[in-house]
Chains A and B, each alone.
Chain A
Amino acid sequence: MFRFLFSRIGLLIPTFLGVTIISFGFIRLLPGDPVLLMAGERGISDERYAELMDQFGFSRPIWEQYFDYLVGLLSGDLGTSIVTKKPVLTEFLTLFPATVELGLCAIIIAVALGIPAGIIAAVRRGSFTDQTIMGTALVGYSMPIFWWGLLLIILFSGILQWTPVSGRISLMYFFPQTTGFMLIDSLLSGQPGAFKSAVSHLILPSIVLATIPLAVIARQTRSAMLEVLGEDYVRTARAKGLSSSRVIGLHALRNALIPVITTIGLQVGVLLAGAILTETIFSWPGIGKWMVDSIARRDYPVVQGGLLMIAAIVMIVNLIVDVLYGLVNPRIRHT
């Protein structure tokens, strides 16, 4: 098991280095630069332009800038935003809990609904229920997030007025951010109604963000279950007279879960990508919105630091999935 773990961690190092090069180079490959964008229509003289590029350190050879970036990374310094003048890591840590909170809720919804939906569809293969579930999953998978989010806002917040339009909590609640997780902070604040308000603000964005992963998980569960249900040992279990729920729950599901776990792990990347749009629609102050703003402003340190952190998170989650995979299926850790 340890050998398996070390080999997986060993793979992370070159991947991480590759990500530093991509995150550093990617934003610089885009035309335009932060000084020109900052000056806008007002323009800037050539001398002043050169002075500012020097000041930000962007006029130095690219390899020198990259080397400084790597040295900074080793000491935990991701650089300083050229727009807000704050350390990138501080900004990331301020905003990240909001994204995690939203992502966790979304993945819980996706798993809690997606796996049972997939099982039901597989067990009732070819039936009306199966077709309805898979049809809905296909629609969910193809739904443009921006349109879907606005549609839900207009219906549930505008017409029915069941949920708030956007934000993380009602503006009447104001308490310090102890953990950054609004559900926890609202409980800690002791203010009556704060937790309920935080939950009500989470509902719509979580549903929107969960839509695509839910569809993917449901489809994956169905296909994995169908495969397993046709196996000899399932037939044997049935022949032994085990109840249908026992066969499905104990024998089939456990093996069908292996590819589903991989799928759930891969959905972390999908969630972070989806968070960019979801956070924009719901004015959710997370890292997705932060990255979009920074790309538009060519805030190099934020974009490269943010990309690196996001990539690191995806890598770590995939590592955890690999380990879980190994635990669930011992054959994997020996290959």
Chain B
Amino acid sequence: MIIRRTMKAALLGASLSALLVSAASAKTLVYCSEGSPEGFDSALYTTGTTFDASSKPVFNRLVEFVRGSTEVRPGLAESWTVSDDGLEYTFNLRKGVKFHSSASFTPTRDFNADDVIFSFARQLDKNHPWHSYTAGASWEYFNGMSMPDLVKEIVKVDDYTVKFVLTRPEAPMIANLAMDFASIQSQEYADKLAADGKMELMNQEPVGTGPFQFVGYQKDAVIRYQAFADHWAGKQPIDNLIFAITTDASVRLQKLKAGECHVVPFPAPADVADIKADPNLTLMEQEGLNVGYMAYNTTKAPFDNPKVRKALNKAINKQAILDAVFQGTGQAAKNPIPPTMWSYNAAIEDDAFDLEAAKAMLDEAGVKDLKMKIWAMPVQRPYNPNARRMAEVMQADFGKIGVDVEIVSYEWGEYLKRSKETDRDGAVLLGWTGDNGDPDNFLAVLLGCDGVGGSNRAHWCHKPFEDLIQKAKVTSDKAERTKLYEEAQVVFKEQAPWATIAHSVVFMPMSSKVSGYVMDPLGGHWFDGVDIAE
């Protein structure tokens, strides 16, 4: 047994050494990632760190987001058609797409419709043999995007044609299919693992069609990939991609400066000026696809009165918040969707900070000696790096118009749970980061009537707004949808169920040797197309 293990180790060592020899003369890009992936089957998870390490380098989807935008382009599907009633989406699949091979698997066939059916059926069908292949497999994103209610069936028309039949028209469907949970797995690999009794390897040794092939993962330390020479879109400019897991932002920056990594995410705001000043580094920046807000409980007096909400919004000094909380890494928000998202209504005027006007509006509404609670999140998020500080800035300004604020906070899980309760006492600080670049993902999820008692923390159900977003949801014409969403934003601003606070600005420092990196508005980190100078 020991001899066999030693031989196995020696053989693996020999093959890895061969890889190393080739790597010595190869281009290697090191990305110092901020955390460890939970696993490599992205459909099982919901975090960006896991997606960066799994679905983005290793897999493809039927459709993909155009790099740097939320527009969708063909991926493993070359084209698609939508039926007139919006209930059938037919995808024509790309031919000649190869899967990666691994130590235990060599594919014998190209990608086809069976792989698409397998990838979704395992999430959709509770009786599918792969539905519970690993302990606690919950397919949370698939469920979170309401796919089980939305997808009636997935039909294999022929080897290279697949049809999704929906229960209702859903304009964001294509964008949903570009998301990480919709990554296409190999059915042949799954069959092999099932036959070998090693189903759990699906989550540990991923096999996909993506630009990088998984080589190995040393837990909490390093993930290694190799450029996939047979990738359908051509081989990558770099040969090896390495994720060096480095959780501390200051240490990541030191590693970048020391040349131990080439690209690092999430720099500390205090380090931004230092990075900008370093001639060996490049700092890219982009507005994040997110919004930080304060949701009033619109079912409770006096916050059920739009005038009161508007008055309070006028007493929020967003510039002071940007300075104190975001330290230059944010921009003031006037709409519930970020400016990088299509249908953003730039014409809307924000509520100007005016304490006198705010006080007058409160008097007009007959509100005196108002006492309220502001809930401050206990965690840091890009859309709100310091909720307690944000609440304190608001508390000071509200005090000047005679509103007495008490700041409360709970453990994060409790905070999320209690803030959903419709009889909640107080306005809650929270935010949202987009999943698929579709405005529906903000407006319907966060402000739609279905979300009351759930993700709609304002518990705001306003018919004129609801009619607009529901109409947009079933309209396939993008120009028409844009008009509807722009109108919805006007209604939102008049009614003010939230105080929109800020959108974060995301920074991405990298070595000046790196070229071709494009920032993803959805917050992901992609390395296809990236090159590094020798």
Contacts and interface: CB of A to CB of B under 8 A. Distances in A.
A84 B220 CA distance: 12
B158 interface: no
Interface in B159-209: 200, 203-204
Contact of A165 (B140, B255, B416): B255
Given A36-B413, A41-B431, A95 B220 contact: yes
A52 to B, nearest CB: 6
A4 B246 CA distance: 47
Interface in A259-280: 280
A168 to B, nearest CB: 6
Interface string B138-149: 101001100000
A167 B221 contact: yes
Interface in B210-263: 216, 218-222, 224, 242, 244-248, 250-251, 254-255, 257-258, 260
B13 interface: yes
A75 B203 CA distance: 26
Interface in A269-303: 280-283, 285-286, 289-290, 293, 298
Contacts of A280: 247-248
Contact of B16 (A94, A158, A176): A176
B410 to A, nearest CB: 7
A185 B222 CA distance: 16
Contacts of B248: 280-281, 283
Nearest to B415: A32
A32 B411 contact: yes
Contact of B138 (A55, A175, A283): A55
B414 interface: yes
A199 B195 CA distance: 43
Nearest to A166: B251
Contacts of A39: 46, 140, 144, 416
Contacts of A41: 381, 416, 430-433, 455
Interface string B283-304: 0000000000000000000000
B414 A32 contact: yes
Contacts of B16: 174-176
Contact of B410 (A31, A86, A168): A31
Contact of B412 (A32, A42, A83, A166): A32
Contact of A94 (B140, B219, B410): B219
Interface stretch (B36-44, B81-89, B311-319, B505-513): B36-44
B432 A31 contact: no
B254 A36 contact: no
B352 interface: no
B220 A178 contact: no
B129 interface: no
B23 A172 contact: yes
Interface string B431-443: 1110000000000
Size category, B interface: 35 or more
A44 B453 CA distance: 11
Interface string B1-33: 000001001001100110110011000101000
Interface in A116-171: 150, 153-154, 157-158, 161, 164-168, 171
Nearest to B137: A85
A171 B343 CA distance: 45
B18 to A, nearest CB: 11
* Central interface residue in B19, B39, B220, by most chain A CB within 10 Å: B220
Nearest to A49: B417
Interface string A40-56: 11111100100010011
A85 B13 CA distance: 27
Contacts of A281: 248, 251
A283 B135 contact: no
A82 interface: yes
Contact of A172 (B20, B245, B257): B20
B136 interface: yes
B221 A285 contact: yes
B219 A285 contact: yes
A244 interface: no
B242 A171 contact: yes
A43 B454 contact: yes
Interface in A194-224: none
B56 interface: no
A80 interface: yes
Contacts of A174: 16, 19-20, 23, 216, 224
Contacts of B23: 172, 174
A83 B46 CA distance: 11
A30 interface: yes
A331 B219 CA distance: 47
A177 interface: yes
A161 to B, nearest CB: 7
Contact of B260 (A36, A38, A164, A177): A164
B420 interface: yes
A84 B200 CA distance: 11
Nearest to B245: A283
Nearest to B430: A41
Contacts of B432: 41
B221 A168 contact: yes
A265 B270 CA distance: 41
A101 interface: no
A283 B247 contact: yes
Given A36-B417, A298-B413, A283 B221 contact: yes
A177 B38 contact: no
Contact of A32 (B135, B258, B413): B413
B280 interface: no
A144 B242 CA distance: 32
Nearest to B246: A283
A36 B416 contact: yes
B102 interface: no
A31 B13 contact: no
Contacts of A189: 13
A85 B411 contact: no
A22 interface: no
A69 to B, nearest CB: 15
A242 interface: no
Contact of A283 (B13, B17, B24, B251): B251
B258 A165 contact: yes
B246 A191 contact: no
Contacts of A283: 221, 244-248, 251
B254 A158 contact: yes
Nearest to A146: B248
B79 interface: no
B221 A31 contact: no
Nearest to B140: A38
Contact of B13 (A43, A86, A176, A290): A176
28 contacts: A30-B411, A32-B411, A38-B138, A39-B416, A40-B416, A52-B138, A83-B39, A153-B251, A164-B258, A166-B251, A166-B254, A166-B260, A171-B30, A171-B242, A172-B20, A173-B20, A174-B20, A174-B224, A176-B9, A177-B218, A280-B247, A280-B248, A283-B244, A285-B221, A285-B245, A286-B220, A290-B220, A293-B35
The 10 A-B residue pairs with the shortest CB-CB distance in the complex, in nearest-first order: A32-B413, A285-B220, A36-B413, A31-B411, A285-B221, A85-B134, A43-B455, A80-B135, A283-B246, A165-B255
Given A91-B219, A285-B218, 12 more contacts: A38-B140, A40-B416, A41-B416, A55-B136, A158-B257, A164-B260, A166-B251, A171-B222, A283-B244, A283-B248, A285-B219, A285-B221
